[in-house]
Structure 1
């Protein structure tokens, strides 16, 4: 069963840190989506449990401002339509949201980002 992580930060603008995220995704064979630029910064990774947990630890070491691990869990519904080790970067929440809707991960994402059910 795939494992998924969702991380939110203040913003993601450092190309050096983004390159470290890409390198870690390749090293741990995780499919990763990132939303860069103006706040918020968002990262989602999917892969095996060990791979995702190791990827999350490598991201945590980057010391992003307002780093929050929103979710880390096994998932059964929806799959990222990427190959393991690949990273897709988005410049806006709108573009990320549209991509996630196509992958049938949008409901999971909106719930754990706090957008669903009145922003709980």
Structure 2
């Protein structure tokens, strides 16, 4: 059974994520800020999603990732509070890594953020 919780979320897009050293630092920073992070690595595009109960922690983590100087770093979805579908484990601090954009999209759908993610990635345009 899913329930909805309010968490701060952000989305980062880069050209690619292949460096295991940088990824280890991203993971360590997520753990130190008690965030849940989902990463699409192993090629292009590189995608990172983070969620947590604290806006300051999310903003600090985004600044840390930006300082790693990933090629073509973009934060198309700035940190903001969202209602996330939680199944008891989604909002726990942790680190998940997926190898495909399709799997990343599936995880976003599970959180109730499918449209938010597609617009952030440029796959859809917002209704105006």
Give the TM-score normalised by the residue count of structure 2: 0.84
Asked if 1:22 is matched to 2:24, the reply is: no
Asked if 1:105 is matched to 2:109, the reply is: no
Tell me, in whole angstroms, the C-alpha distance in 2 between the residues paired with 1:5 and 1:100. 12
How far residue 76 of structure 1 moved from its aligned partner, in angstroms, is: 2.7
Tell me, in whole angstroms, the C-alpha distance in 1 between the residues paired with 2:43 and 2:116. 23
Greater share of residues in helix: 1
What is residue 3 of structure 2 aligned with on the other side? none
Tell me, in whole angstroms, the C-alpha distance in 2 between the residues paired with 1:102 and 1:20. 26
Tell me, in whole angstroms, the C-alpha distance in 2 between the residues paired with 1:91 and 1:98. 12
Asked if 1:117 is matched to 2:120, the reply is: no
Structure 1 runs not aligned, ≥5 long: none
What is residue 90 of structure 1 aligned with on the other side? 98
How far residue 73 of structure 1 moved from its aligned partner, in angstroms, is: 3.0
CA RMSD in angstroms comes to: 1.6
Number of aligned residues: 117
Structure 2 runs not aligned, ≥5 long: 1-5
What is residue 38 of structure 2 aligned with on the other side? 33
DSSP 3-state at the match of 2:120: helix
How far residue 21 of structure 1 moved from its aligned partner, in angstroms, is: 0.4
What is residue 7 of structure 1 aligned with on the other side? 12
Moved beyond 3 Å, runs of 4+: none
Tell me, in whole angstroms, the C-alpha distance in 1 between the residues paired with 2:65 and 2:38. 13
